[in-house]
Amino acid sequence: MAGARGVAREEAILLATLELLAEDGYDRMTMDAVAARARASKATIYRRWPDKAGLVVAAVRRHAGGAVEAPADTGSLRGDVLAVLEIMRASLTGQDAALLLGLIAAMRRDAELARTVRGQVLDDKRQILGDVLERAVVRGELAAGGDHGMFAEIVSALLFSRLFITGEPLDEAFLVHLADDVLLPLLDHHGSAR
């Protein structure tokens, strides 16, 4: 696919893939349906992506959970953690819940898709939270050597559970409660008072 027309065609195919994944789930989504939704030929799709998994991986890489940057340094671990929680909440609630749930179900059956989604979701969160925790180490608020990966996994799990399992509000009050009463004590935070 070359030129502006090729780029537009690719974009239409990838967006159709995500829409159908959210509507039908990975198992029921077909290349025929993607072609019909994108108004593209199956030959065009198969020239670029040899199978459904490859197409879904490309769509996820392009559109689902794009790279997120760590927030600006607020000057305190608490402020930084709250800023990260806000970014994660916006990212999680901004994505189509059906798409996320469809991806999670498909990840159990497709290793390449699972690696990509984990890279888009958990690895980015680990990096952002790792940056924030390193700032706190430099400021003397945390001891060096903490398990940043585990911390990111806990944060992601709690937000995911709140949004998809309990259905309770993922609002500002919850983020403050999560930071102050769960995450900062978990880190054994020695910073300044709230």
**Tens digits of residue pLDDT in 64-111:** 655 567 789 999 999 999 999 998 888 777 666 667 777 777 788 778
Give the pLDDT of residue 44.
93
Name the DSSP letter for residue 95.
Answer: S
Burial code (b: 16+ CB inside 10 Å, e: under 16) for 109-129 equals: ebeebbebbeebbeebbbbbb
Single-letter amino acid, residue 97:
A
The one-letter amino acid at 156: S
User: Three-state SS for 45?
Assistant: helix
pTM above 0.85, yes or no: no
- Least reliable range by pLDDT among 9-18, 52-61, 111-120: 111-120
* pLDDT tens-digit series, residues 149-191: 888 889 988 998 998 899 899 999 999 999 999 999 998 755 5
Q: Determine the pLDDT at residue 100.
A: 74
Neighbouring C-beta atoms of residue 90, cutoff 10 Å? 11
Task: Say what the pLDDT of residue 115 is.
Answer: 80
Q: Distance (Å, rounded) from C-alpha 194 to C-alpha 191? A: 9
CB contact set of 160 (below 8 Å; sequence gap of 6+)? 92
Query: pLDDT value at position 194?
Result: 45
Q: Both tokens of residue 91?
A: 């990212």
Is residue 96 within 8 Å of residue 22, measured between CB atoms? Answer: yes
Amino acid at 140: G
Question: Which domains, and CATH codes, for the chain?
Answer: 3-63 (1.10.10.60), 77-187 (1.10.357.10)
Q: Quote the tokens at residue 35.
A: 């072609």
CA gap 81, 170 in Å, rounded: 15
